[in-house]
Chain A
Amino acid sequence: MFLLAMRSLRQRPGRFAGTLLAAFLGAAITMTFNSLHDTAAAPGIDDASAETLNLSGGVVGGYGTLLVFFAIASTLTVTVRQREEEMELLRRTGATPRQLGRMVVGEAAVVALAATVLAILPAMLGGRVLLGMFHDSGQVARDVDYAFGPIALSAGFGVTLLASVGAAFLAVRRATRAGRRAPRTRLRALGGALALLGGAAGVSTTFALDATDPILMAPAAEGAILLSIGLAAFSPALLRALLACLGRPFAALAGPSGYLAVLNLRRNAARLAGILMPLVLFTGIATATLCMQAVESDAIEASGLTKSVEDKNMETLNLIVVGIIVVFACVMLINSLYAATAYRVREFGRQRLTGATPRQVIGMVGAEATLLTVTGVLLGTAAGLAGLVPFTLVRADEALPGQAPWIWLGIVAVAVAATVVTAVATARRGLRVPAVAAVAVAA
């Protein structure tokens, strides 16, 4: 089975690009921040420097590990689902679920190892940049030298490998035990409800804090993140509700392509979670954090003070964390959407044989992407605002900062571009296959 895993990796390297990228980013980030622990562990380092380094090293730690896990899990689930046919064939030729599991887990482990090795150099560079930042701000003494050592390496390999193998194990278990959907949906609903509760609590805490409290931003930002996660969990249901209201008028306006798009989305809503979730997370988290940062900067400026070094560091770290989350969400979004669209070549073929022109098929994919983006952006914006408005009220005594619409438009532009461009470009490629060949078996 391990040989089989290696062979399938060699033959279809493109299929693992998404997982490789997710694992690479994850390993690079984990090692970058953990190398700060290595640096802090050097002998003769003063206490203040060590504390700063260890604190910063830990900032991304928890979130980072969780994100790496989700990103790898999402890309792997897509790869496994794409290969359902191949796995079915292997099973019919006598492979046991255990053997299939070993194959997929083996592949994931190899990909994770390769990704981590590739990530070592970028992580070293990233760590150096971080340390340089601390040198400049004076938070770490100039004579502290950068070190990349056992802590970074073991965290990088450990987190990436564990996340990959765990995610592969779960993905394959799900795939080989078809027909047991209900518990998963219930689990997701439970998780979503908990996240919503936690988020609401975090956001409410904001009102109990003082306008100049240094930790004012934390509960609001984390509340927005949790609300995004909660709404993301319920996004398929909300998509269905949206289609129930807007489906008919949309189909009437958008013609045959819109008609097909609405039907496809309505009947596949559950499967679209993998695309909607990163969209909601991306919009919600980016809106909340970027706008809050703008409010904070304005407030400091308005009070007549200049930004302290710590304020600046806080801002940079904030932006780094958001950047990481946003990049991961984008990778997940593009990967899921690419895979889902590439998988539909046969369906496109059937539509063309029924009389759809290539332009109508592209129009359908574009309409689906648009509806998905609208749903994701609506939910994400709701979560983002829920965190942002209380923070702005307490900090600046207004409901929304003036820059909010512009920041929001920028975020939406990125979301629309990522979704629509990925879907349409992938569909366009799928249309190059002649329709008759596209519907033939084993295309």
Chain B
Amino acid sequence: MSAYDKVLAARDAKKLMSVDYISHLFSDSFFECHGDRRFSDDKAVVGGIAMLYDMPITVIGLEKGRNTKERMERNFGSAHPEGYRKALRLMKQAEKFHRPVLCFVDTSGAFCGIGAEERGQGQAIAENLMEMMTLKTPILSILIGEGGSGGALALAVADEVWMLENSVYSVISPEGCASILWKDSSKAAEAAECLKMTAKDLFDLGVIERIVREPKADNQNMFESLKLLISRTFEKNMAVSTEELLNNRYNRYRRIGNYSEISIEENN
């Protein structure tokens, strides 16, 4: 598959969405929570509490919706500021009860509109980045489809970030990139290659910890192994001290990015 094939697969309306993962992994144990307690309930974000075997966890997902009606309701998975604030509220709640946080990421990006700007889209995302960095409970984020820029990152500051084999994660869509670079959005396939946005690319760049096989809806065994993997990761991170957990999380991002110094850095 080419990079652009992966982009198309990640956007495929028939693929599994956050709500599917929640029902396959947690079935009836999931209790959905609503609202940001400040403005409204953004349905592009679905969140609540669930049992992972015998461990209560908080689950938060960006949800695109499975049919036209749902997609309209959920704004195609593009959250407004209140969606990010709802996610943060649930994370803070998880911290209080020392539950791990599991995030599913699937969005083309944070919503671009008048209301979103008026209510501080930039501020909402920035606050999540800051608060997630020091949230005193383990966080695991899994990209299950599209990881569109800051709107995805706002649910992906975590101890580990995993990607499904057919998910993508990028600072800009390949169409947008092609439009700017070559004034031709039909060159999106080329742009997708240049952006290095597939799971393999990101693994090679050291941005993610694991590539996960794509579970099939009719194969519950695949969900069971994913569930086991998630549970082991949380157990591992619940066992370390909060200080170590947060240091590791900080350093995870601190070391990302390559740079060169042409001479010794100046110390005044």
| A and B found bound together | no
Q: Which residues of B contact A (CB under 8 A)?
A: none
Q: Which residues of A contact B (CB under 8 A)?
A: none
